[in-house]
Amino acid sequence: MYSSLKIVLFLISFLLGSLTQVQTENRLSYLQRGINFSMLENHYRSLPIQNVLKVPSYGFEEIKGFSEKVYLGDTIAFKVFELEDDNLSINEILKKSEEFKPASYFTGKTNPKNIYWIELDFRDNLDSIKNSSILNLKFTSFDYGILFLKKKEAIEMTAIGLFNKQSTSKRIMLKNYLSQREIVKGNLINNQYLYLKVKRVTFNEKIHNWKFSFTPNVIPNGYTINDFKNLFPYYFFAGLCLLMWLSTLSSFFFLRKKEFLFYSFYVFTLFIYVTGDIFGIYDYFFSGYGIVQHWFSQSFILFANIAYAFFFMHYIRTKKDYPLLHFLMKTIIALHILVLGIMFIFYSQSYLDGLNYIVGTLMKIVYFLSIIVMVYIIVKAKNPLAYFVGFASIAFLIGTLAHVYLASPDDGLLLNSRYFLLIGCSVEIIIFAFGLNYKVNLEFQENLSLQKKASIEKAKALRAQLNPHFIFNSLNAIQHLVTLNDKKSTLKYISKFGNLIRSVLESSIETNAMLNEEIKMIEDYLELESLRFDNAFSYKINIDENLDLNTIEIPFMILQPFVENAIIHGLLPKKNGPKQLIINFKEENGFVVCEIDDNGVGRRHVKKEKRSYQKEKKSRGLEITKQRLASLNKHQDAIKILDKYIDGKSSGTKVTIKIPL
């Protein structure tokens, strides 16, 4: 417990230190994106070309040691002219060459409200391009962008921004923040320049991070062997998510527990967020709708967090076992929903500064509350489930915080730091693979326990119906002896009856009885019935010497209704010859086998007599006993009734009862 608490406290200090540093960076996190769709329409309404977006936003630099470096070609020198309005045309810009400044001139970060004109100068590259008619221009991906180039004797404009309609630029596969477009040498203005008008709205970045280069050949769009090697962590994560999603979804349909449904949804949304752009999922569903794609991709982690919160609450039953934790989780869910709503509204209103501040503040509150939840659940854990969810959540939270706060200042969309999130989520899923299996086992054991309790309660209820039936018959026997004024037999009968009553009362507490106790009860009952009917029948009990009477348990009073039935309906109606009842106990193939064998009139005689009262009594006793055996899940052939015949005449009935050891 102490070591676990140290881990959580370290996490708190790490978060607070990171928050202080990040405030000076003014960088938008993945929850702090904004875009003005109306600005796009007004900004480029005059363009002759209206195009459709086909590429998402990606980063330029790769994490060191993870992805292979790609040769980007010859570097192109560039200068930048920053404007607060968009009133200048390309012709006016060409007359203001002295306003363009080198990238080193700009010390701050880009402003989402400003326009940036870029002058690409091929002066130092003329020797490299003199033998190439076609060039592949590579450049940092911009949210909005227009490329100005010479075509014939005029200057034309073409869209190259990620949020422009019909953008003519293409994504360079697996390379974040980098796009490409094919041009010809004749497109250079004054045989030396290209001009771009760009706008960055999704995050703030330093201008000196912009990169422009060219190669004489187009970068291939297919994947290479090295690309597949670099994608291996994503393939591993995808396989992990698929297995967990199938496992939790099938567990939900089997157990009908909501926590499995919420976790399956969480895994699905997490997979989309982490790998959506890598596997082209966003392109497939949102091709041509760049702004929707961007908002959707940045919001998906919030949906995953909400699903995880609901899973968390159901998994450890916070409402019942952790009321304070339940309140905190509901607060976190409400904050996530609030952030989603704010993002949706601000994306359409272009109030980026407000979006950055409000969403950033809310998410810091969410992170802080999440840490409190982790500390609380580990310190106040009431069962192993709490430790599973606690440590798994810590792994996920550390991955998320590292993804946000350890990202490079140049990684505006947090794409290069996704590997922190990938690792954290993988560890969290692996921990929960064990945690959910443990939960399934608990649910299974709980169901077995409930079934067993239900079976015991049902057996007691059925016995409660049987005992009054037996007691009523015994009192009738005592009444019969009193009417005969047989004091000696009456006193002996009352004594035996008292022993039986004590056994019956004890049976209301214990479900089963030892075999020797059941046999003693049967002997007392037979002696009572023999006294009641003036020794009208004889009886004998045979016990297999291999039976251990002191260790074998059977359901209490399970045999009495059959013994009573043999006496009342089998032996007493017999008019001629001896009346004998033989009871055998033996062990056979893992069962205690009890045989109740009488030489009475048989069941055929009872049916012919049609004695409704006796028929009702017999039906009641047997039905109750059958229900008791069924409720205890006994063998399907637990009761067999054999009618005996000699020379075609009924010679009695043999009942065989099998009870598993």
4 vs 80: which has the higher pLDDT:
80
* Whether 322 contacts 316, CB under 8 Å: yes
CA distances from 63 to 66, 171, 408, 418 (A): 6, 19, 10, 10
pLDDT digits (tens, 9 = 90+) for 507-546: 656 667 888 888 988 888 888 788 777 788 999 999 998 8
Q: Distance between CA atoms of 216 and 135, rounded to whole angstroms? A: 5
Listed in sequence order, the DSSP H helices in 380-417 are 384-405
Around Cβ 445, how many Cβ atoms within 10 Å?
Answer: 10
| Pairwise pLDDT comparison (148 vs 344), residue with the higher score | 148
What mean pLDDT is predicted for residues 18-40? 33
Is the C-alpha dihedral spanning 157, 159, 160, 161 positive or negative?
positive
- What pLDDT does 635 receive? 52
Average pLDDT for residues 424-442, to the nearest whole number?
86
For 444-492, write each residue's pLDDT tens digit: 887 777 777 666 666 565 555 555 666 777 777 777 778 877 777 778 7
- As a dihedral over the C-alpha atoms of residue 152, residue 157, residue 162, residue 167, rounded to 10 degrees, the angle is -50
- The amino acid present at 282, given as its one-letter code, is Y
Residues 301-335: b if buried by 16+ CB within 10 A, e if exposed: bbbbbbbbbbbbbbbbebeeebeebbebbeebbeb
- pLDDT tens, residue by residue, 299-313: 888 898 899 899 989
Cα 587–chain centre separation: 49
Instruction: Report pLDDT for 105.
Output: 94
The answer to whether 420 and 402 are in contact (CB under 8 A) is yes
Q: What is the pLDDT of residue 512?
A: 78
- Global pTM? 0.59
- Shortest CA distance to 530 belongs to which of 481, 484, 599, 485? 481
Of the pLDDT bands very low, low, confident and very high (cuts 50, 70, 90), residue 615 is very low
Is 637:658 a contact under the CB 8 Å cutoff? yes
Average pLDDT over residues 392-398: 86
Segment among 162-176, 310-324, 539-553 with least mean pLDDT: 162-176
pLDDT of 594: 92
- Tokens representing 270 are 């997490």
Query: Are 399 and 425 within 8 A, CB to CB?
Result: yes
Rounded CA separation 474/491 (Å): 13
CA dist., res. 326 & res. 316, Å (int): 10
CA 227 to chain centre: 32
pLDDT at site 93? 92
